[in-house]
Amino acid sequence: MGKTPSREELIRAIEAAGAVLPRPLDDDASLIRSGLVDSTALFEIVLWMEDRVAPGLDLTAFDLPEEWDTMAKLVAFVERHAR
């Protein structure tokens, strides 16, 4: 695995998954509960996370809507799992 993905890489991955994010993006803006990221885009982010951050990612082992709902939480998740 390479270096820990940055916040900007995370944003690019989310947008590449099909989500349209507001710019500038508030770190505390809801992504999932607001519906900005849903269905296929959310699944693409899961694939990206497993590929880039957390091989063997177990979606049932954490509270996904809580831990991935904002950019700040996503960055924290990446930092925790990339160690």
Say how far apart CA 17 and CA 83 lie, in whole Å: 25
Min dist. Cβ of residue 28 to other proteins (A) = 18
Min dist. Cβ of residue 55 to other proteins (A) = 9
Pick the closest to residue 22 from 11, 33, 32, 10 (CA basis).
Answer: 11
Site for other proteins in 13-72 (CB under 8 A): 18-20, 32-44, 46-48, 50-51, 56-60, 64-65, 68
Work out whether 78 is an interface residue with other proteins (CB under 8 A).
no
